[in-house]
């Protein structure tokens, strides 16, 4: 039998890209331009002079720009450890661990902490970084319908009835990045306590914006259980870079010893750790900035809801248009008018729900929001 001829190098990849383009799903990098209705810089901290001054002061006192190695080699800097101690105190945990990105933090946590006999119960709309951790995890997992507390309860009970003896894990986001809605954290926290579960809350989009001093939504609960792990990204409302996992001391120690995403990664920049420390101090005193942001969110609700934009009280207002090609055409038309609004397509969101992800950031005012509404009326 004559063997099949070998395919040309990269033929499969080129075919895949062509298919994405045909369906209106081909991604490309685009430069920043126009008014910022796309980033996660909710408080405008990325251009705050206080953070630039903190970076200059750190350099002046000899803080290194690069770490030079992993934390377990020579990359562990006093700035890392100072940040982790301050973050643990700030967010109310026994310990904290600083990682390069939120994606790395989520994937390392879920790939490492749950064990073979455990079960991970995950909200169906959870971030891709969690799915990456699930793919690498020793534990099995089950998806639960979005924000369905009864669904979590039923799944937990069914798992126990099947004779399971491990630890259940409940994994949610406090504020969902593509829908802009909130998790029912009080009910989920109570459910975790009832079933002896670990509650993992990704606070990426809530940190800085919600909770006392910007500590996130879980910090608002009076009865937050001890078996809780939170993720706080530093590159969104905090305006800097990296991510912090906050939880019991065993979490930090176990990840340092077992998490491949931590052990085999070069440590984050010590300079960035120093600036994150300042960002936390800035965040705690930013109540007026948060109030102003939420006032502009209310303004945007009134201005954009007539077009179908959904607003749950967060800075993220999705406008679901359905089709991929139409969504990207509308986004392009808005960008040409000076509004940086990005289209979001599957697999980031479910099939048939392509949308404009309109974000109220620290870089736009009520006049800009009104102008966007006028442009939407023209384009749609």
Give the model confidence (pLDDT) of 25-60 as tens digits.
899 898 889 999 999 999 999 999 999 999 999 999
Is residue 173 annotated as part of the catalytic site, yes or no?
A: yes
State the CB neighbour count (10 A cutoff) for residue 176: 24
Active site residue 40: yes
* The domain boundary residue, chosen from 234, 267, 284: 284
Q: Say if residue 158 is in the same domain as residue 307.
A: no
| Tens-place pLDDT, residues 252-297 | 999 999 999 999 999 999 999 999 999 999 999 999 999 999 999 9
Note if 202 is an active site residue: yes
Selecting among 177, 269, 314, 354, the annotated active-site residue is 177
Whether 314 and 371 map to the same domain: the answer is yes
Residue 127 lies in a domain: yes
Annotated active-site residue 236? The verdict is yes
| pLDDT value for 3 | 67
pLDDT in tens, 299-328: 999 999 999 999 999 999 999 999 999 999
pLDDT band of 208, cuts 50, 70, 90: very high
127 belongs to the catalytic site: yes
pLDDT of 100-142, one tens digit each? 999 999 999 999 999 999 999 999 999 999 999 999 999 999 9
Boundary-marking domain end, from 284, 312, 339: 284
Active-site option among 181, 202, 324, 340: 202
Instruction: Tell me: do 249 and 145 sit in the same domain.
Output: yes
Strands 140-144 and 168-173 turn out to be unpaired
| Active-site position among 36, 77, 132, 173 | 173
Looking at the structure, do residues 213 and 341 belong to the same domain, yes or no? no
Q: What is the pLDDT of residue 8?
A: 86
Is 2 among the domain residues? no
Given a contact cutoff of 8 angstroms between Cβ atoms, the answer to whether 246 and 95 are in contact is yes
205 is catalytic: yes
Whether the per-residue pLDDT at 331 is higher than 90: the answer is yes
Pairing relationship of beta strands 342-344 and 168-173 according to DSSP bridges: unpaired
The answer to whether residues 308 and 349 belong to one domain is yes
Residues 90 and 32 in one domain: no
Q: Looking at the structure, do residues 225 and 366 belong to the same domain, yes or no?
A: no
CA angle 212, 206, 210 (to 5 degrees): 30
* Cβ proximity of 303 and 374 under 8 Å: no
pLDDT surpasses 80 at 224 = no
Q: Is the residue at 12 inside a domain?
A: no
Which residue range(s) make up the domain with 305? 28-43+287-379
Tokens of 102: 């939120």
Per-residue confidence at 4, pLDDT binned at 50, 70, 90? Answer: low
C-alpha distances out from residue 175 to 131, 227, 375, Å: 17, 20, 28
- Looking at the fold, whether 211 and 316 belong to one and the same domain comes out as no
State mean pLDDT over 337-344. 96
> Where does a domain end: 284, 316, 338?
284
- At 77, is the pLDDT very low, low, confident or very high (cuts 50, 70, 90)? very high
The answer to whether residue 261 sits within a structural domain is yes
User: What element of type H or E holds 79?
Assistant: helix 78-91
Whether 226 shows a pLDDT value over 70: the answer reads yes
193: CATH = 3.40.640.10
Please check whether residues 96 and 215 belong to one and the same domain.
Answer: yes
Same domain? For 210 and 318 the reply is no
Q: Which pLDDT value is given to residue 12?
A: 93
Does one domain contain both 245 and 374?
A: no
Sign of CA dihedral 66, 52, 43, 87: positive
What percent of the chain is modeled with pLDDT above 70?
A: 98
DSSP of 153-219: HHHHHHHHHTT--S-EEEEEESB-TTT--B--HHHHHHHHHHHTPEEEEE-TTTTTTSSGGG--SGG
Q: Is residue 9 included in any domain, yes or no?
A: no
Q: Is residue 3 part of a domain?
A: no
> For residue 35, what is the domain's CATH number?
3.90.1150.10
Please give the span between the terminal C-alpha atoms of the chain, in angstroms, as a whole number: 59
Helices (H) and strands (E) in the chain, counts: 13, 12
341-377 in b/e form (b: 16+ CB < 10 A) is bbbbbeebbeeebbbbbbbbbbbbeeebbebbbebbe
Residues 162 and 311 in one domain: no
Instruction: Report yes or no on 254 lying in a domain.
Output: yes
pLDDT at residue 1 is higher than 70: no
pLDDT at 23: 87
Domain count of the chain?
2
Could you confirm whether 203 is annotated as catalytic?
Answer: no
Mean pLDDT, the chain, whole residue set: 96
Q: How far is CA 125 from CA 129, 237, 333, in A?
A: 11, 21, 28
Give me 265's structure tokens. 């990664």
What global pTM score does this model have?
Answer: 0.94
In a domain? residue 305:
yes
Q: What share of the chain in percent tops pLDDT 90?
A: 94
Q: pLDDT tens across 237-257, in order?
A: 999 999 999 999 999 999 999
């Amino acid at each position: 039998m004559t063997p099949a001829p070998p395919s040309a190098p990269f033929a499969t990849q080129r075919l895949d890209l062509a298919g994405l383009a045909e369906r209106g799903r081909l991604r490309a990098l685009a430069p920043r331009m126009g008014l910022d209705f796309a980033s996660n810089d909710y408080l405008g901290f990325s251009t705050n002079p206080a953070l630039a001054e903190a970076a200059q002061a750190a350099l002046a006192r000899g803080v290194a720009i690069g770490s030079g190695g992993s934390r377990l080699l020579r990359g562990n800097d006093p700035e890392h450890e100072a940040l982790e101690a301050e973050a643990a105190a700030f967010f109310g945990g026994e310990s904290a661990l600083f990682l390069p990105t939120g994606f790395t933090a989520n994937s390392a946590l879920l790939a490492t902490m749950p064990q073979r006999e455990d079960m991970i119960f995950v909200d169906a709309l959870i971030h891709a970084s969690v799915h990456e951790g699930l793919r690498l995890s020793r534990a099995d997992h089950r998806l639960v319908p979005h924000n369905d507390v009864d669904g979590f309860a039923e799944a937990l009970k069914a798992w126990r009835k099947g004779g399971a003896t491990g630890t259940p894990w409940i994994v949610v986001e406090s504020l969902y990045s593509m829908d802009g809605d909130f998790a029912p954290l009080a009910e989920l926290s109570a459910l975790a306590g009832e079933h002896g579960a670990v509650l993992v809350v990704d606070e990426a989009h809530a940190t800085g914006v919600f909770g006392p001093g910007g500590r996130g939504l879980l910090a608002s609960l009076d009865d937050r259980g001890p078996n809780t792990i939170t993720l706080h990204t530093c590159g969104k409302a905090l305006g800097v870079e990296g991510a912090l996992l906050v939880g019991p001391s065993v979490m930090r120690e176990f990840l340092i010893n077992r998490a491949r995403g931590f052990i085999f990664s070069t440590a984050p920049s010590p300079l960035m750790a120093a600036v994150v420390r300042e960002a936390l101090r800035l965040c705690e005193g930013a109540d007026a900035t948060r109030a102003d942001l939420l006032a502009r969110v209310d303004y945007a609700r009134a201005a954009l809801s007539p077009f179908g934009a959904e607003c749950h009280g967060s800075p993220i207002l999705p406008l679901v248009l359905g089709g991929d090609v139409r969504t990207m055409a509308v986004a392009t038309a808005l960008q040409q008018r000076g509004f940086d609004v990005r289209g979001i397509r599957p697999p980031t969101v479910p099939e048939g729900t392509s949308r404009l992800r309109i974000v109220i950031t620290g870089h736009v005012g009520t006049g800009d929001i009104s102008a966007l509404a006028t442009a939407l009326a023209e384009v749609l």
